[in-house]
Amino acid sequence: MNDPQRLRAWFTDNWAHSQRLRVASYIAGFGVVMIVLGWATLARNLPDAESLVDYETPLPTVVRGVDGEIVHSYARERRVQLQYVDFPARLIEAFLSAEDKTFFRHGGVDLTGTLGAVIDYANPLRTGRAVGGSTITQQVAKNLLLGDEYSVTRKLKEMILATRIEGVLTKKEILELYLNEIPLGRRSFGVQAAARAYFDKDVGDLALHEAAFLAILPKAPERYGRKKFEGMAVARRNFVLDQMVANDFVSAADAAKAKAMPLGLVQQRSERSADAGYFLEEVRRQLIDKFGETAEEGSNSVYAGGLWVRTSLDIELQNAGRDALRGALLRYHGNRGFTGPVATLNPDNGDLTSQLASSNLSINYKGWRVGVVVGPSRIGFSDGEEYPIVDAPSTLKTGDVVAAERSGNGFRLRAIPEVSGAFLAEAPQTGRVLAMQGGFDSRLGAFNRATQALRQPGSTIKPFVYAAALDQGMTPATQVPDQTFCVYQGAGLGEKCFRNFGGGGGGVHTMRWGLEQSRNLMTVHIADTTGMDNVIKTFKRVGIGSYDPYYSFALGAGDTTVARMVNAYAALANWGRQNAGSVIDYVQDRRGKVIFRSDKRNCTGCNMEQWDGQPMPRFEPSGKQVLDPRTAFQVVHMLQGVVTRGTAVRLRDLNLPLFGKTGTTNGPTNAWFVGGSPDIVAGMYVGFDQPRNLGGWVQGGNTAAPIMKEFVQKTKDRWIAEDFVAPPGVRMVKIDRVTGKRVFEGTPTDDPKASIIWEAFKPDTEPPRATRSDAIAAKRNEILELIRRARQGPSAESKAKESNATRPGDFVEEQGGVY
């Protein structure tokens, strides 16, 4: 009889006679059934371990500028994903020594460690969580599939999942997930992000003592990185080094050298980013609209998808535009001093410096800092430090958030200008936005005045009135009356009469002169001749806005944005072809696949394997034709005169072929300039957020145009001194600048007051050749005028000289906008 048979016979004989055997068997059987049922219950609803095969680490979105350099990242957590081969051996050995030295030998659960954890859990003297027992595989199961609930049930689920994970992933794949996902404090997940956060190094550059420090962090990630727990951190780090020696990973001598090293932690710092908050926020907003914000909204979400975004941000132009706008705001503010807080915190809501830290209010200008008034003549900052306020104004109240600058042992308040404004620069050939500044500093508020503020553009809209007129048959040399224009608006409103700023006017002048000198009356006459319906259609076609056909809109009374105005002027500079403004060039997913392009043009045949002998394939033209190319060039040519001898004459000494237009709205409440070169078009305005009078001296020419001048001066190497090129069908004809008549003798010069200039005409619209009778009539009129003055005496002659002081051709700074 073999052993199984003897055991069966023994059990049968004793079952009938032994009650103890029967009870023990029932208990054992019940226990087995309960274990099976419990195991089945716990395992039934567990996450699928195979989901880790395709698991993707939530990664931040990385943003690059126009030159490909990283300028920002959108991240709520620090995360960087590495492959297993990227992790240094010393770092892996440090984590194995600290967390799971039998990792490469067990099947997911370390029974010895688990038994130790059970004993610790049962210890009545324990005051915290039971420690030990979790292998690296179990930690992966907890972090990625289960969560951090503290219970025996969760621990059992963790063990079940760990065995399943070992069945679907290799040891290297498990370790790769662990080292990329483990939370290590300072908002860092994974060893690469932690190496940057604690040592400002990549993992490949870590010294032995630094690798050992990172390995201690899983036990208490928010404790060991703090200064007051430095002693505990050093002791724990040295323990890990001892374990590395015990596991034959390092020599005792190397460990001793590492123990002698200080922790060497760097201070926590904000993520490195370009100072282009308004631009980057616009990029973020567009990305969220396209791809979602979190992982729940899509695999390519902004805060988890690991996107790589190439933008059109040009750091050099951005910095110049930002500084130029800030300079103008500070100049306007002048010596007004402190004008009030930028925000107010409620002392009843807790510690004021903590409230300030959570508000994210800050500033990046010179040595200024944003602080909060914590008491009489005391200022506190987000790091908890407090200082006295030098010469504190009596109006200051506890809770006021202010800007301040170091002064001796304290801080002196600095005034952030109450007036604001915006700046935006664009490449006309592509529509790519190169720079964007929506206020003094985006850290003080996210409202972007370049894209969101609706403002009256004033006279900067006039070029498009003129464009509509040119399309209807007028020319730059057409004579237009600079005389009172009245229109009946109905019984309720009565008659409305337009006028130039400060009155004045009279006579008849060329369209060019009217645009150069920004004459309101001439613009309204042109709009009337053209038809307001045609003018409004032109505004809408170039994207400025959709308005009713009222004459005041021809003078800039309708609301629009800086972004729209710049994009419309870009169409002028691009032969009437308009590209939609864009801040994103293209977006790649985490694997490098392009998932979005702003330029959606096709190039048929560009990827053919062999040349077919046909002409080289080319991209189709980008954008949409919104203006006749000849009309666009005629307007640009006239707007160059605005810089040469008109309301933007202060830009002339830049010695560049610039075009542009100033604008000043009624009040004045807004001061504008929009213009540029064939390659860069920029627009800007200055005004209060709640529009109010800026002061009678403020005009587009003396407040906004200097922003453009400073912008160009700071980026002079980026501006090519090449003039605008005329499109086919434009005829350049010599004319008399004042009369608009064609001339055949003489040559135009660079003198801004030259009587002969080149003017752009469409075919068959240029002035006809002057006849002999025209010359005789002109001479006769000249003689008659001399006789009339002689008869009227000396007083008439002096009046004539006074009148000639404002003859067409003199420099007249713009005086108004909407009236």
Q: How confident is the model at residue 781 (pLDDT cuts 50, 70, 90)?
A: confident
* Tokens found for residue 280: 């980057």
pLDDT at 71: 94
Q: How confident is the model at residue 53 (pLDDT cuts 50, 70, 90)?
A: low
pLDDT at 797: 46
Query: Mind giving me the DSSP string for 742-775?
Result: B--SS---S-TT-SEEEEEE-TT-SPPPPPHHHH
Q: Which residue has the higher pLDDT, 168 or 343?
A: 343
Give 408's contacts (C-beta < 8 A, 6+ positions apart).
390
Report d(CA 241, CA 234) in Å as an integer: 11
CA dihedral (139, 144, 148, 152) in degrees, to 10, reads -60
Report d(CA 162, CA 107) in Å as an integer: 8
pLDDT at 29: 66
Report d(CA 702, CA 690) in Å as an integer: 21
Whether residue 807 is predicted with pLDDT greater than 80 in this model: the reply is no
Which of 465, 582, 574 is CA-nearest to residue 530?
A: 465
How many residues does the structure list for the chain? Answer: 819
Q: Which of 90-99, 217-226, 664-673, 692-701 has the lowest mean pLDDT?
A: 217-226
Whether residue 804 is predicted with pLDDT greater than 60 in this model: the reply is no
Q: Give the CA distances from residue 139 to residues 61, 84, 195, in Å, rounded to whole numbers and listed in that order.
A: 26, 18, 20
pLDDT digits (tens, 9 = 90+) for 269-300: 666 578 999 999 999 999 999 999 998 888 99
Give 274's contacts (C-beta < 8 A, 6+ positions apart).
65, 71, 72, 280, 313, 315, 318
Give mean pLDDT, residues 34-63. Answer: 64
Strands 659-664 and 671-676: antiparallel
Catalytic residue numbers read 99, 459
pLDDT at 15: 64
pLDDT at 796: 43
Only one residue has tokens 């132009």, namely 317
Whether residue 128 is predicted with pLDDT greater than 50 in this model: the reply is no
Q: Which residue has the higher pLDDT, 446 or 19?
A: 446
Q: Which of 183-197, 484-498, 507-521, 549-563 has the lowest mean pLDDT?
A: 484-498
Whether residue 557 is predicted with pLDDT greater than 90 in this model: the reply is yes
pLDDT digits (tens, 9 = 90+) for 212-265: 999 999 888 888 888 888 899 999 999 999 999 999 999 999 999 999 999 988
Query: Mind giving me the DSSP string for 439-497?
Result: SS-GGG----TTTT--B--GGGGHHHHHHHHHHTT--TT-EEE-S-EEEE--TTT-EEE
In 247-276, alpha helices (H) = 252-259
Q: How confident is the model at residue 319 (pLDDT cuts 50, 70, 90)?
A: very high
Whether residue 41 is predicted with pLDDT greater than 80 in this model: the reply is no
Which of 328, 323, 422, 404 is CA-nearest to residue 363?
A: 404
Q: Which of 4-18, 315-329, 503-517, 615-629 has the lowest mean pLDDT?
A: 4-18
* Tokens found for residue 406: 């170091």
Q: How confident is the model at residue 5 (pLDDT cuts 50, 70, 90)?
A: low
Q: How confident is the model at residue 492 (pLDDT cuts 50, 70, 90)?
A: confident
Give mean pLDDT, residues 408-437. Answer: 96
Give mean pLDDT, residues 164-188. Answer: 84
Q: Which of 445-459, 607-621, 775-789 has the lowest mean pLDDT?
A: 775-789
Q: Which of 16-20, 50-54, 222-226 has the lowest mean pLDDT?
A: 50-54
Report d(CA 197, CA 450) in Å as an integer: 35
pLDDT at 799: 42
pLDDT at 49: 55
Residue 16's H or E segment, with its range, is helix 3-17
Q: How confident is the model at residue 153 (pLDDT cuts 50, 70, 90)?
A: low
Q: Which residue has the higher pLDDT, 107 or 104?
A: 104
Report d(CA 776, CA 39) in Å as an integer: 115
Q: What angle do CA 335, 339, 344 make, to 5 degrees?
A: 155
Give mean pLDDT, residues 120-143. Answer: 60
Whether residue 8 is predicted with pLDDT greater than 50 in this model: the reply is yes
End-to-end Cα separation, the chain, in angstroms:
120
pLDDT at 25: 67
Q: How confident is the model at residue 32 (pLDDT cuts 50, 70, 90)?
A: low
* Tokens found for residue 772: 């002999």
Q: Give the CA distances from residue 504 to residues 116, 483, 519, 755, in Å, rounded to whole numbers and listed in that order.
A: 97, 9, 10, 24
Give mean pLDDT, residues 606-620. Answer: 80
Q: In the predicted model, what is the mean pLDDT of the chain?
A: 85
pLDDT at 39: 54
Evaluate whether 94 touches 214 at the Cβ level (below 8 Å).
yes
Q: Give the CA distances from residue 224 to residues 68, 196, 211, 212, 213, in Å, rounded to whole numbers and listed in that order.
A: 37, 16, 14, 12, 9
Give 688's contacts (C-beta < 8 A, 6+ positions apart).
418, 419, 420, 669, 694
Residue 637's H or E segment, with its range, is helix 629-645
Only one residue has tokens 């006021």, namely 400
pLDDT at 58: 84
Query: Mind giving me the DSSP string for 500-543?
Result: -TTS---SEEEHHHHHHTT-HHHHHHHHHHH-HHHHHHHHHHTT
Strand, coil or helix: 157:
helix
Q: What angle do CA 747, 753, 759 make, to 5 degrees?
A: 55
Give mean pLDDT, residues 33-45. Answer: 53
Whether residue 357 is predicted with pLDDT greater than 60 in this model: the reply is yes
Residue 782's H or E segment, with its range, is helix 772-792
Alpha-carbon torsion (778, 783, 785, 786), positive or negative:
positive
Give mean pLDDT, residues 626-634. Answer: 98
Percentage of the chain beyond pLDDT 90 is 59
